[in-house]
Structure 1
Amino acid sequence: MRQLRSLALAASLLGVLPAAATAQMSDGVVRIGILNDMNGPYADLAGPGSVLAAQMAAEEFGNRVAGVPVEIVSANHQNKPDVGAEITRRWVDQDKVDAIADVPTSSVALAVQNIVRDKQKVFLISGAAAASLSGKDCSPFSIQTSDDTNALSIGTTRAVVKSGADSWFFLTADYVFGHAMEAESTKVIKAHGGTVLGGVRHPQNTADFASYLLRAKGSGAKAIGLANAGNDTITSIKQAVEFGLTQSGQRLVGLILFISDIHALGLQNAHGLMLTEGFYWDMDPVAREWSQRFHKRFGKMPTRQQATTYATVVHYLRAIDHAKTDDSRTVVARMKAAPMKYFGHEGRIREDGRFVHDLKLYEVKHPSESKYPWDYYKTVTTIPGEEAFASMADGGCPLVAKR
């Protein structure tokens, strides 16, 4: 009789175990929100492509993790902080979204960060580039995997100054990201003996750069730093070529460029540009294989932001699968404890949430050098992650213990 009671108890406990495990998964669904610009200046570098990248990440797990379904939802923040904040509140309070990912436009990302910090939800920053998101504005629930303003400015700016272009003029997008990129680049320029002769700030998604480019040309600066992104970068480069800035010997320097920008410009306009990237579709066999699968479904090669969204969501889901819970603190701790796989490479996530990995400085090929579709970059040098990203001491994250 005692043996029968023991067997019955064991059977009852076995029956409870799946329910107990599932109870660790909040509402029984892991729901990830992809928040970005779906039809504006950053749609090509993020937009629907980032949504597909996240869906491909979920598919790696069969759209289930730790015994529950994985759902990908998406929304358009229109590059407006108030719109992004409203969507975030609705997602968290009503739609039970567990994590938000992507979020290009740093002003929107900062608004989102403030909300998810209070709500204790995970923020996977695979889009916004402001270094302060893992610096002074950091959150215990955030991971920043995007290449940030510090990393993007170091490689490109240093290389251009060392090549002899030691006087600069900036065309800067007038919001958080543009200001940060100009400030970070200015530090590098001055540290290597260069000077900044001036600059202008332009509204986001402007169509006419004529007056800004005339001031840049009139400055006599050897390098024109483009502290903008997406359509603003494409438009400013096209109009600069039309106005003859490059023919007069001035060098255009895109401080944040994506392969979507190069594709839109064409190699005839873009060749010779230097840029820093953490991802290039042809950088290694693993990146190439995934990018070709992405291309079959999307018709374009992925930008680094879309690829980074994929890799970040995969790392998040791996952490849930390991921990058997979607509790934010537990999952973020696991993400920081395990190396993050980044296609054929990997990196580590620091205490402040900053993903540190090696970057490469590329030069855009001349049309005669391109051998097949999307063959746009040639490697100049590798930038070690410890050199590219600001140290935790310099970043100023208040979560990091003073050492």
Structure 2
Amino acid sequence: MAVKGFCAGLIGAALLAAAGTAAAEVPARGIKVGVLTDLSGVYTDLVGQGSIEAAKMAVEDFGGSIDGKPITIVSADGQNKADVGASIARRWIDEDNVDVIVDVPNTAIALAVQEITRAKNKVLLNTGAGSTVFTNKACSPTSFHWVYDSYAMANGTARSVVAEGGDSWYFLTADYTFGQSLERDASEVVRANGGKVLGSVRHPLGSSDFSSFLLQAQASGAKVIAFANGGADLINSIKQAHEFGIGSDKQRLAAMVIFITDIHALGLAQAQGLLLTSGFYWDMDAQNRAWSERWAKRMGGRKPTMLHAGVYSAVLHFLRSAKAANSVEGNVVADKMRELPIDDFFARNGSIRPDGRMIHDMYLAQVKTPAESKGPWDYLKIVRTIPAAEAFQPLSRSECPLVKK
């Protein structure tokens, strides 16, 4: 009886092991990538169809399949509403067999989706939302923060502006998690470098009239009026600042997060001289130009933002990791993603920390004057490279429970 029981136990263990192996394999249906983006709101130029095309390019460059199993892309508009984005994510995972969600350019949506992917053991590639909360208290073992965050952007730009004499600040801030996070991180950098923050005013997402907010900022007497917002809100607030004559030598304008599409919309006459931090510039070198020209042909000639480049990089790394792990299980692929090196045109010196933050070199840049620009989209000059270890919040300060202290 003991021998029979022992043999039965071995057979049972073997069957369980076989079942576990089968469950871990990439299924016959292949892999499905969900691009949850903004196709109709304030961030559509930053992400939108461009993110969908970037994800498609990553799939194509990977080869379109894994061991003959197809890789497909689905996409949807989150409408900058957490309930809408969460509903899409649940349907994708529960009904449509989506294995990984990417982009998510809204902090409220991204936080909701991160909790869903955590519970469902799916991977989230956050390339669009910028709050540092994702790799702090809200961190998840299957979520990754790819392109930028509020700390990296504030650390690069605010430090440089203070060093140039901009030592008193007033913030015009988008009234939601990302804007608040950006203001908080930039304020910390300003104070740490000897400056002071005189105050702030907050505006709703998608505002059209910034006059009262700008007049409050002007009345503060601060040397720097800093915009802790993004997309159409940033463009409109800077345009209206110029209409009020704000941004003269006495009060400098500083954009904490600004993208090349924002500069294109503003025009060099209004954007010239702005210092900014970016993880990517299309014309920085031959690698970036080559990828950007491919992307531009699919997008009517315009040039990609760092978010578009980040979508490509994140999706490609996920696919490489899924193939290496022979799995679409979130925790299995996530472990492999942390293990494999990242070195592509976007992620120079890239690696993934225990908190899910993908660190890579960032760049301090300045917007060219109209005279310096050689043509459309020739907008930036790189001032310096910010090494990966310097660019992002130190791991020692992380509040993520996945980080061993």
Using the size of structure 2 for normalisation, the TM-score is: 0.92
Kindly report structure 1 stretches of 4+ aligned residues shifted beyond 4 Å.
20-23
Q: Alignment partner for residue 322 of structure 2, among 316, 320, 323?
A: 320
Q: Deviations over 1:299-320 (max 9, x none)?
A: 2111000110011101111111
SS at match of 1:165: coil
Q: Does residue 399 of structure 1 match 2:392?
A: no
Equivalence for 1:144: 145
Deviation larger for 339-348 or 21-30: 21-30
Q: Deviations over 1:341-393 (max 9, x none)?
A: 23062311111111111111000000100113311101111111111111222
- In structure 2, how many angstroms separate the alpha carbons of the residues matched to 1:305 and 1:107? 18
Equivalence for 1:94: 95
- Residue type matched to 1:382 in 2? T
- In structure 1, how many angstroms separate the alpha carbons of the residues matched to 2:39 and 2:246? 32
Q: 1:342 to 1:23 in 2, by over 3 A?
A: closer
Q: Does residue 260 of structure 1 match 2:291?
A: no
Q: Deviations over 1:231-265 (max 9, x none)?
A: 00000110101110113621110000111100111
- In structure 1, how many angstroms separate the alpha carbons of the residues matched to 2:277 and 2:252? 16
- Residue type matched to 1:335 in 2? M
Q: Deviations over 1:41-83 (max 9, x none)?
A: 0000001110000001001123112431001101111111111
Equivalence for 1:219: 220
Given that residues 66 and 320 in structure 1 are in contact (C-alpha distance below 8 angstroms), is that contact kept between their aligned partners in structure 2?
no
Equivalence for 1:331: 333
Given that residues 21 and 324 in structure 1 are in contact (C-alpha distance below 8 angstroms), is that contact kept between their aligned partners in structure 2?
no
Question: 1:342-381, aligned counterparts within 5 Å?
Answer: 342-343=344-345, 345-381=348-384
Deviation at 1:21, TM superposition (A): 7.5
- In structure 1, how many angstroms separate the alpha carbons of the residues matched to 2:298 and 2:320? 24
- Residue type matched to 1:325 in 2? S
Equivalence for 2:388: 385
Equivalence for 1:289: 290
Given that residues 276 and 366 in structure 2 are in contact (C-alpha distance below 8 angstroms), is that contact kept between their aligned partners in structure 1?
yes
Q: Does residue 208 of structure 1 match 2:209?
A: yes
Equivalence for 2:9: none
- Residue type matched to 1:24 in 2? E
Question: 1:243-254, aligned counterparts within 5 Å?
Answer: 243-247=244-248, 249-254=250-255
Equivalence for 1:310: 312
- In structure 1, how many angstroms separate the alpha carbons of the residues matched to 2:114 and 2:398? 17
Equivalence for 2:230: 229
Equivalence for 2:11: none
Given that residues 362 and 387 in structure 2 are in contact (C-alpha distance below 8 angstroms), is that contact kept between their aligned partners in structure 1?
yes
- In structure 1, how many angstroms separate the alpha carbons of the residues matched to 2:67 and 2:143? 21
Given that residues 273 and 369 in structure 2 are in contact (C-alpha distance below 8 angstroms), is that contact kept between their aligned partners in structure 1?
yes
Deviation larger for 387-396 or 250-259: 387-396
Given that residues 117 and 140 in structure 1 are in contact (C-alpha distance below 8 angstroms), is that contact kept between their aligned partners in structure 2?
yes
SS at match of 1:340: coil
- Residue type matched to 1:359 in 2? M
- In structure 2, how many angstroms separate the alpha carbons of the residues matched to 1:193 and 1:58? 47
Q: 1:23 to 1:125 in 2, by over 3 A?
A: closer
Deviation at 1:134, TM superposition (A): 1.3
SS at match of 1:283: coil
- In structure 2, how many angstroms separate the alpha carbons of the residues matched to 1:280 and 1:378? 9
Q: 1:342 to 1:61 in 2, by over 3 A?
A: closer
Ranges in structure 2 where 5+ consecutive residues have no aligned partner: 1-17
Q: 1:365 to 1:51 in 2, by over 3 A?
A: same
Equivalence for 2:177: 176
Equivalence for 1:6: none
Equivalence for 2:125: 124
Given that residues 135 and 392 in structure 1 are in contact (C-alpha distance below 8 angstroms), is that contact kept between their aligned partners in structure 2?
no
Given that residues 25 and 325 in structure 1 are in contact (C-alpha distance below 8 angstroms), is that contact kept between their aligned partners in structure 2?
yes
Equivalence for 1:34: 35
- In structure 2, how many angstroms separate the alpha carbons of the residues matched to 1:119 and 1:378? 43
Deviation larger for 197-206 or 380-389: 380-389
SS at match of 1:346: coil
- In structure 2, how many angstroms separate the alpha carbons of the residues matched to 1:77 and 1:67? 32
Given that residues 132 and 395 in structure 1 are in contact (C-alpha distance below 8 angstroms), is that contact kept between their aligned partners in structure 2?
no
Q: 1:214 to 1:66 in 2, by over 3 A?
A: same
Deviation at 1:279, TM superposition (A): 0.6
Q: CA RMSD in A?
A: 1.5
Deviation at 1:339, TM superposition (A): 1.4
Q: Does residue 238 of structure 1 match 2:233?
A: no
Q: Deviations over 1:315-344 (max 9, x none)?
A: 111111222221211211111111112306
SS at match of 1:369: coil
- In structure 2, how many angstroms separate the alpha carbons of the residues matched to 1:59 and 1:397? 35
- Residue type matched to 2:317 in 1? H
Ranges in structure 1 where 5+ consecutive residues have no aligned partner: 1-16
Number of residue equivalences: 384
Using the size of structure 1 for normalisation, the TM-score is: 0.93
- In structure 2, how many angstroms separate the alpha carbons of the residues matched to 1:180 and 1:98? 29
- In structure 2, how many angstroms separate the alpha carbons of the residues matched to 1:59 and 1:380? 34
Given that residues 66 and 325 in structure 1 are in contact (C-alpha distance below 8 angstroms), is that contact kept between their aligned partners in structure 2?
no
Given that residues 284 and 382 in structure 2 are in contact (C-alpha distance below 8 angstroms), is that contact kept between their aligned partners in structure 1?
no
SS at match of 2:212: helix
- In structure 1, how many angstroms separate the alpha carbons of the residues matched to 2:95 and 2:388? 39
